[in-house]
Amino acid sequence: MTRRLVSAFVLVALPLAAMLTVAQTHMTAQQPSAPTRPAAPAPPAPPALSSSGLQLDALDKSADACTDFYQFACDGWIAKNPVPPDRSGYGRFDELQERNNDTLHTILETAAAGRDPEFKKIGDYYASCLDETAIDAKGAGPLDPLLKKIAALSSARDLAPLVAELHTIGVNVFFQFGSQADFKDASVEMALADQGGLGLPDRDYYVKDDAKSVELRAQYVDHIAKMSALLGATGDQAKASAQQAMAIETALAKSALDAVSRRDPNKVYHKMSNAELQALTPPFMWNRYFSGIGSPPIYALNVAEPEFFKAFGQLVAATPLDQIKSYLRWQVVHASAAVLAKPFVDENFGFFGTALTGAKELRPRWKRCVQYTDNDLGESLGQAFVKVAFGPQAKADTLKMVHELEAALQTDIEGLGWMTPTTKKEALVKLRAIADKIGYPDHWRDYSALTIVRGDALGNSQRSNAFEFHRQMAKIGKPVDKSLWQMTPPTVNAYYDPLENNINFPAGILQPPFYSATADAAVNFGGAGAVIGHELTHGFDDQGRQFDARGNLKDWWTPADAKSFEDRAQCFVDEYAGFTAVDEVKLNGKLTLGENTADNGGLRIALMAYLARNPSSALAAGPSSALDGFTPEQRVFLGWGQVWCENVRPERARMLAQINPHSPGHDRVNGVVSNMPEFQKAFACKADALMVRKNQCRVW
Ligand SMILES: [Zn+2]
């Protein structure tokens, strides 16, 4: 649904993943007997860890750690793990997610066979999604009711209730609507209207005029036309309709804020009354929209980007109804494609999988259905997951590490030469107020109001989307419930929420290579410890620092300290802007600033926390404490390095450089260690080595 203002450890969900991974289903099948399932390929084996907890065969010891530490930490893994044909990239996160998904697969097969009544809903959902034969037999039929409603639209004044209906089931036409804490009073949820309505991953795709962008747009329009043809349009109709839809998306994109601007909370916070919103968009009947979505009474809302909504109103006023219908039809089929009949799935994959990200083959059906079940019923599936994959030891260990990391960050802040005592005091108030959430929610989501019907995959998906939409709507005007999670337990990721001032670590990431109960502490601190440090420092990055201990958008910095912060942050902007993503494409230093700051601060305080726990292993301790030939400090750095090994197709690298606030694995490793004198010492690098930057950047 609506993008939340959170800082995750890796990219949460690609906009294109709306197509490839999010279930917006369609389907049929009445038979209770399970369809024939192809045997699942063997899942990736858990990494073979040495006594230190490192995966030694991931390393390339022939490389020089001081010249290219990423190569040293990862080239063994990289050589053994080419990108599978059904992926656009493959890294340690994906490897772990595959293992988690295999656990989910077993859970779902059991649930689908009806052997576990507690998990009937996830079993029915999964079995319905798997039944391709029944889905294919229905063709585009399941879309008929929606397409008829679009055809019946007789005036722009009637657009609002139709948009409300589409939003409810997950078709995000024109804009996004949801709930979010009020930036200026983060204890209360308020309605949020945000930019949206695009099919491509970001507004820049519509406006950039380099050759690749122009080519992709042509492929995209062709894709829209092909989808239209699958719905029955003739060749010329399909082409005309695609141009019409593209013209609307382009107009929306041109009035949308770019990704860097959206990092500034002040640019996406505009509290308005209903009447003010209505005045911005005269032709769109907001009262009819609000009654259509079934929200509680709305008196005020955050209209994130007023200019966007003003342009939306003008667009509705100026665009012929037939053209609006073309756009709505396209968005409906687009949102449903992944779970429609095979021709839709294949065409959808051809553009969003192959053209946009370089994947060669569609992922096996069961893998897609596991993912859709996690998206739609994640806290039911996650309950089963944590029973088998996350024990009390892992939770206790992680909590201990979190407390050690918090203590290290406190020490770090207290010792900062560039920050004055006044701001330090406020920073420590904020640090102490951070709440730690580990593994899974204290209270599981209650899905009893959600109906899952065996054999109705599309209906299941639409009802799941409606369940989630209504769950968000029901929050409006109520106190913020900080115990809720925005990621499911099996997810290999983590996040900091600036509006709630809490850090969240799903059980899915607290596994090897990030954390292992049997690993030496050094490697766990370099992996899971640095993830924790990363999330903690997000509270103090270019975005997070603008919110106070309670999550309110409030400046607690003295002007001089803010200036010092910005000067130091600029060092990261310049450093990462110098890194190449692919071909002529460089990283965007401003887009990635928050994540790069968090990586740099995270590893530093992870090392501090490790050394605080093991003071005897300080840098001078010598080889006596070596394991697998590496000193404790070296193992902390290798623990960090080895979680970032990855292979990425060029198409995906190009896309991520444009939309991903995180840097590629190579730069997350080398960009960080080359800023750390501790690394130079640990590996005895010469002063002129490539991994020793002349101008070392540091904020935390
Ligand atoms: Zn992050």
Task: Render pLDDT for 181-227 as a digit per residue (tens, 0 to 9).
Answer: 999 999 999 999 999 999 999 999 999 999 999 999 999 999 999 99
Q: How confident is the model at residue 7, as a pLDDT?
A: 81
- Which letter does DSSP use for residue 527 in this model? I
CA distance 524 to 52: 10
Burial zone of 482 (CB within 10 Å; 0-12 exposed, 13-18 middle, 19+ buried): middle
Neighbouring residues of the ion ligand 1, judged by CB less than 5 Å: 7, 9, 595, 598
- Which letter does DSSP use for residue 350 in this model? I
CA distance 555 to 566: 14
Both tokens assigned to 699? 């904020």
Residue 376 catalytic?
no
Average pLDDT, whole number, for the chain? Answer: 92
Residue entry with tokens 């002529």: 584
Alpha-carbon torsion (135, 137, 140, 145), positive or negative: negative
Continuous H helices in 476-592:
521-524, 530-538, 559-577
pLDDT tens digits along 277-326: 999 999 999 999 999 999 999 989 999 999 999 999 999 999 999 999 99
pLDDT at residue 27 tops 50: no
- What interhelical angle do 321-336 and 159-168 show, nearest 10? 10
% pLDDT > 70, the chain: 93
Q: How confident is the model at residue 35, as a pLDDT?
A: 35
Residue 236 catalytic?
no
CA distance 314 to 327: 16
| Cα 570 to averaged position of ligand 1 atoms, centre (Å) | 18
SS3 of residue 180 by DSSP: strand
Q: Identify whether the C-beta of residue 177 lies closer than 8 Å to the C-beta of residue 2.
A: yes
- In the β-sheet with 271-273, what is the strand arrangement from edge to edge? 175-182, 185-195, 300-303, 271-273
- Rg for the chain, CA atoms, rounded: 25
Both tokens assigned to 276? 């003010």
Listing DSSP states for 76-103 in one string gives HHHHH-PPPTT-SEEEHHHHHHHHHHHH
pLDDT tens digits along 102-139: 999 999 999 999 877 889 999 999 999 999 999 999 99
Mean pLDDT of 391-405: 93
| Cα 495 to averaged position of ligand 1 atoms, centre (Å) | 6
CA distance 629 to 356: 43
| Cα 666 to averaged position of ligand 1 atoms, centre (Å) | 16
Instruction: Identify the H or E element spanning 271.
Output: strand 271-273
Mean pLDDT of 515-543: 94
CA distance 446 to 451: 12
Residue 627's beta-bridge partner residues? 630
Q: Catalytic residue among 599, 633, 667, 678, which?
A: 599
CA distances from 325 to 151, 153, 332, 556, 614 (A): 7, 8, 10, 49, 65
| Cα 501 to averaged position of ligand 1 atoms, centre (Å) | 14
pLDDT tens digits along 144-174: 999 999 999 999 999 999 999 999 999 999 9
Task: Label residue 4 by pLDDT band (50, 70, 90).
Answer: low
pLDDT at residue 37 tops 70: no
Greatest extent of the chain over all pairs of C-alpha atoms, in Å: 81
Q: How confident is the model at residue 405, as a pLDDT?
A: 98
| Cα 545 to averaged position of ligand 1 atoms, centre (Å) | 14
